[in-house]
Homo-oligomer: A and B are copies of this chain.
Amino acid sequence: MKLSSLADYAVVLMGAAARHCGGVRVSAAMLAAETGVPVPTAQKIVSLLTRAGLLRSSRGTGGGIQLARPAAAISLADIVEAIEGPIAMAACVDAGRHDCALEGSCKVQPHWGAVNGAIKSALGQVSLASLSHDHITTGAPA
């Protein structure tokens, strides 16, 4: 129930990248310097985010990275899923996985789906753009 450090760093790095607004290219080292994340770790995270389609990278001198989409179109859920894979609290949440021996007699499974949806919704309603605002606009029920 705890986010991995990589995912946490990824959110911070994406927030820093969003602050440089779309068109400008920044290097992973620059973002690392701004955020305090170790440079090699930042490079690794950038690679994962690029592979997931959230960032667009250019190699070579003067290269760098930029947001593949507007900041408003990237949510925390996107970032978390890019780093940690699909958001699935229990193994039985995503159809196709049948690792659970109970399968059918388990009364818990349908409820996990609802809880999982609530969590994904909570993460999906926070966009990168909103991270730059001072007021909280998550739409959280709490």
Contact = CB atoms under 8 A, between A and B. Distances in A.
A12 interface: yes
A118 interface: yes
A87 B119 CA distance: 13
B126 A140 contact: no
How many subunits of this chain does the assembly comprise?
2
A142 B126 contact: no
A119 B119 contact: yes
Interface residues of A, number: 46
A84 B89 CA distance: 13
B11 A108 contact: yes
Interface of A: 1-4, 7-8, 11-12, 15, 35-36, 76, 80, 84, 87-91, 101-102, 106-108, 110-111, 113-115, 117-123, 126, 130-132, 136, 138-142
